[in-house]
Amino acid sequence: MPRFLTLSDVCEELQISSAQAYALVRSGELPAIQVGGRGQWRVEQTVLDAYIEAKYEQTRQQVARDRAR
């Protein structure tokens, strides 16, 4: 497994559009780096894994709040 993923890889893994992935990166919600002369975005696999886990936790908390109502 490569250490760094392209935004296309991120799109594939999260099943989102390239515009959505770009927005996550530009907003800072999904940390990424720019590399190369054309400034292509790369997301570290461990960062994406942490992002996914954080989303699971947010969902768990939301479900718990909804059940408490």
**Per-residue pLDDT in tens (0 to 9) along the chain, 69 residues:** 799 999 999 999 999 999 999 999 999 999 999 999 999 999 999 999 999 999 999 999 999 988 888
Cα–Cα dist 55/64, whole Å = 14
Look at residue 67 in the predicted model and tell me its pLDDT.
87
Look at residue 44 in the predicted model and tell me its pLDDT.
98
**Domain limits, the chain:** 4-68
Task: Produce one character per residue of 23-57: b if its CB has 16 or more CB atoms within 10 Å, e if not.
Answer: ebbeeeebebeeeeeeeebbbeeebbeebeeeeee
The CATH number of domain 4-68, selected from 1.10.730, 1.10.3470, 1.10.1660, 1.20.1300: 1.10.1660
The pTM of this model reads 0.89
User: Cβ(4)–Cβ(45) under 8 Å?
Assistant: yes
Look at residue 1 in the predicted model and tell me its pLDDT.
78
Cα–Cα dist 55/35, whole Å = 26
Maximum pairwise Cα distance, the chain: 52
